[in-house]
């Protein structure tokens, strides 16, 4: 398994298909994944990646301050940051809200919509991938839009045939097709990220360069898969088959900071997110992110955020009142 696959595996993506849509030209609609659409699958709404798979026809995807993206039949387009966007049959059309036209599914089937002016049809499946982890560093460095032609993917024959088979079955509403298509979307997302990483310049530093580097990418996957583990630089180096000194030098040169400093920063960023969740004790958060004691966590958190965790959480509460 390559470094990108290992790192994405550590994020533990899961998702679902929530809409089987057929539009006829001319058409233009607002689009985006809502927390309610994630909730029906029992999945958290944080760190959502929206996607659309074109079964038939073509469409244009529009994002503010971004060049329009044309998506053809057999292609999947992913939005790593789940930004609100517009889907349309062509440029210059006014988008409309079609939420009221969605027909909810039943008995395991997916919600459906039929909308448009009666011209050339476009059929697509709309879904999402959700990150189970609170920290999602790989998503932060991805571009706003990723597109993959299913036919060009590794093992394209079975992936494409499975996508088409699942899409056809979905039209009749069997419960197993959404799960199949969601799993295939995960595979295609990994392929999209792998292709993006392959385009990065070798001299680049920082997170993009880290995930592109075979050794540092694997180390990042190890770290983010187990932020609570009491890692050492030597242990990380051994896990990727390098000496301690060579690994430390390589990590620091590419990432801009030492492995242990990077780990500490990631733990504290995760802690800050967990502190925003009501009802979670500070002691529990400290334990979950790998600190041996609440006191050690308090000191580390104050160094970075300027206040102990309890004070920082109280200030958030006050600002919302």
Range from 56-65, 146-155, 231-240, 289-298 carrying the lowest mean pLDDT: 146-155
Do the beta carbons of residue 220 and residue 54 sit within 8 Å? no
Find the length of the chain. Answer: 321
Share of the chain above pLDDT 90, in %: 36
**Same-domain pairing of 156 and 273:** no
Where are the alpha helices (H) located in the chain, listed in sequence order? 3-11, 35-39, 137-140, 156-170, 176-198, 207-212, 214-225, 233-239, 244-255, 259-275, 282-288, 294-305, 309-320
How far is Cα 138 from Cα 189, in angstroms, rounded to an integer?
Answer: 12
**Same-domain pairing of 279 and 139:** no
Angle between helical axes of 176-198 and 3-11 (0-180°, round to 10):
140
The CATH number of the domain where 228 resides is what? Answer: 1.10.10.60
**Same-domain pairing of 139 and 248:** no
**Same-domain pairing of 150 and 194:** yes
Which one, of 158, 165, 172, lies nearest residue 112 by Cα?
172
Which one, of 241, 259, 239, lies nearest residue 250 by Cα?
259
Domain total for the chain? 2
Indicate whether 173 pLDDT > 60.
no
Higher pLDDT, 4 or 147: 147
**Same-domain pairing of 84 and 182:** yes
Tell me the pLDDT of the chain averaged across its residues.
82
Q: How far is CA 230 from CA 154, 266, 303, in A?
A: 37, 13, 20
N-term to C-term CA, the chain: 48
Strands 111-116 and 13-24: parallel
The CATH number of the domain where 188 resides is what? Answer: 2.60.120.10
**Same-domain pairing of 30 and 64:** yes
Task: Please give the model's pTM, rounded to 2 decimal places.
Answer: 0.71
Picking from 150, 179, 198, the residue at the C-terminal end of a domain is: 198
What band does 46 get if pLDDT is binned at 50, 70 and 90?
low
Residue whose entry in the numeric block shows the structure tokens 């994944």: 33
Half-sphere exposure of 312 (CA within 13 A, CB side): 22
Q: Residue 235 pairs with which residues in a beta bridge?
A: none
Task: Tell which phi-psi region holds residue 256, choosing left (phi > 0), alpha (psi between -120 and 50) or beta.
Answer: left
Determine the structural domain holding residue 273 and report its residue range. 207-320
Indicate whether 226 pLDDT > 70.
yes
Picking from 181, 198, 215, the residue at the C-terminal end of a domain is: 198
**CB count in 10 Å sphere of residue 108:** 12
Higher pLDDT, 229 or 188: 229
The mean per-residue pLDDT over the stretch 8-15 comes to: 68
317: CB partners within 8 A, 6+ apart: none
**Same-domain pairing of 51 and 164:** yes
Indicate whether 71 pLDDT > 80.
yes
Indicate whether 292 pLDDT > 90.
no
């Amino acid at each position: 398994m390559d470094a990108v696959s290992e790192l994405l595996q550590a994020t533990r993506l899961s998702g679902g298909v929530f809409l089987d849509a057929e539009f006829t030209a001319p058409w233009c609609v607002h689009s985006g994944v809502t927390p309610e659409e994630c909730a029906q699958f029992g999945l958290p709404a944080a760190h959502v990646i929206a996607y659309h798979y074109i079964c038939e026809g073509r469409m244009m995807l529009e994002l503010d301050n971004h060049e329009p993206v044309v998506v053809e039949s057999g292609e999947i387009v992913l939005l790593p940051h789940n930004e609100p966007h517009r889907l349309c049959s062509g440029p210059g059309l006014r988008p409309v809200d079609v939420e009221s036209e969605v027909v909810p599914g039943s008995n395991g089937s997916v919600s459906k919509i039929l909308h448009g002016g009666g011209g050339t049809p476009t059929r697509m499946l709309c879904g999402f991938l959700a990150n189970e982890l609170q920290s999602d560093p790989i998503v932060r460095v991805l571009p706003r839009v990723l597109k993959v032609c299913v036919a060009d993917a590794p093992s394209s024959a079975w992936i494409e045939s499975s996508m088409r088979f699942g899409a056809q079955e979905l039209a009749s509403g069997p419960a197993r097709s959404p799960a199949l298509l969601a799993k295939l979307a995960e595979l295609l997302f990994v392929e999209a990220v792998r292709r993006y990483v392959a385009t990065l310049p070798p001299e680049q530093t920082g997170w993009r360069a880290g995930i592109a580097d075979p050794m540092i990418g694997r180390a990042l996957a190890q770290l983010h898969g187990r932020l609570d583990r009491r890692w050492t630089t030597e242990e990380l180096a051994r896990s990727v088959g390098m000496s301690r000194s060579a690994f430390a030098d390589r990590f620091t040169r590419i990432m801009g900071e030492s492995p242990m400093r990077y780990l500490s920063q990631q733990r504290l960023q995760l802690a800050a997110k967990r502190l925003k969740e009501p009802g979670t004790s500070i002691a529990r958060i400290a334990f979950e992110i790998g600190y041996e004691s609440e006191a050690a966590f308090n000191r580390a958190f104050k160094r970075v955020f300027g206040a102990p965790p309890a004070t920082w959480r109280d200030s958030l509460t006050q600002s919302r009142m």
